[in-house]
Amino acid sequence: MLEFICPVCGEFLYRENKAYICRNRHSFDIAKQGYVNLLQSNQSKLKRHGDDKLMINARFDFLNKGYYEPLLDRLCRCCEKYLPYRADIIDAGCGDCYYSSGILGRCSDRLFNIFGADISRDAVIRASKRNAEIRLAIGSVFSLPFPDGGADAILNIFSPFAPDEYRRILKKGAYLFRVAPLENHLYALKEKIYDTPYRNTVAPFECEGFELEENIELKYIMHIQGEDDIEALFKMTPYYYKTSISDQQKLSGLQELDTEAEFSLLAYRRL
């Protein structure tokens, strides 16, 4: 069974009262919400790590409305298709754990063991409230607190892509499930905001050390009703943080929006 490792010495961590401790006695307190902070100070020079509370709360509210449920459905089907019973799964850049929590609920008969790691403390706190069964840590996707070759699967869903680290952690023959936006994803939303909207650049999907076994494209129109949901969608994207105040205000009062949801769900097998 997969366990956290110490970010200082790499030894396995075991739980002792309200802390995780390794055999070298490096100790990491477990927060009251149940997560552990395994992010070392030298892994990032930023004072604030990852997505902030505004983005996390907006994403939580929007995803709870079911707009991305078709993606969750296909991801669950991939897990059932490719993963063994009691698979150890890491949600890398887990956010509020909407997808990994959905997998636990919809694939409950498979008894998956799921870990979540995110560099954002706000995200991990929100994830702990969504599902107490997921073992959570604050940590970078580029230096995950897990042993070499220990995981059956990694989820990389709209989070930074760290293939070298994923290759280190996955067993041979294990799976990486990656979700990436396609060219027209949220284009109609951009048309409302920008004078000159742009389409997404889709990078090549080849990945060294992995074989791409399946590329599932999901394309549908989301009918978003209500100013609150439209605002939540905007605030959960990077667009909000790169947009002027005047452009942000263009969505004010908008009650309905039809916009594209376009993703690639990629199933890679580690060679």
Average pLDDT over residues 58-85: 97
Taking only the tens place, the pLDDT of each residue in 49-58 is 678 999 999 9
Q: Please provide the average confidence, as pLDDT, over all residues in the chain.
A: 94
Taking only the tens place, the pLDDT of each residue in 30-49 is 999 999 999 986 554 444 56
244 — pLDDT class (breaks 50, 70, 90):
confident
Distance of CA 80 to the CA centre of its chain: 19
In angstroms and rounded to an integer, the radius of gyration of the C-alpha atoms of the chain is 19
Q: What is the set of domains in the chain, with CATH numbers?
A: 14-41+49-270 (3.40.50.150)
Token output for 266: 């990629």
Taking only the tens place, the pLDDT of each residue in 197-218 is 989 999 899 999 999 999 999 9
Taking only the tens place, the pLDDT of each residue in 217-242 is 999 999 999 999 999 999 999 888 88
CB 211 within 8 A of CB 271: yes
Residue 263 falls in which region: left (phi positive, over 0), alpha (psi -120 to 50) or beta:
beta
Predicted confidence at residue 1, as pLDDT, reads: 87
Q: Looking at this protein, which amino acid is placed at residue 161?
A: F
Distance of CA 267 to the CA centre of its chain: 15
Q: How far apart are CA 87 and CA 83, in angstroms?
A: 6
**Rounded to two decimals, what is the model's pTM?**
0.94
Asked whether the predicted pLDDT for residue 194 surpasses 50, the reply is: yes
Predicted confidence at residue 40, as pLDDT, reads: 80
Predicted confidence at residue 42, as pLDDT, reads: 53
Predicted confidence at residue 46, as pLDDT, reads: 47
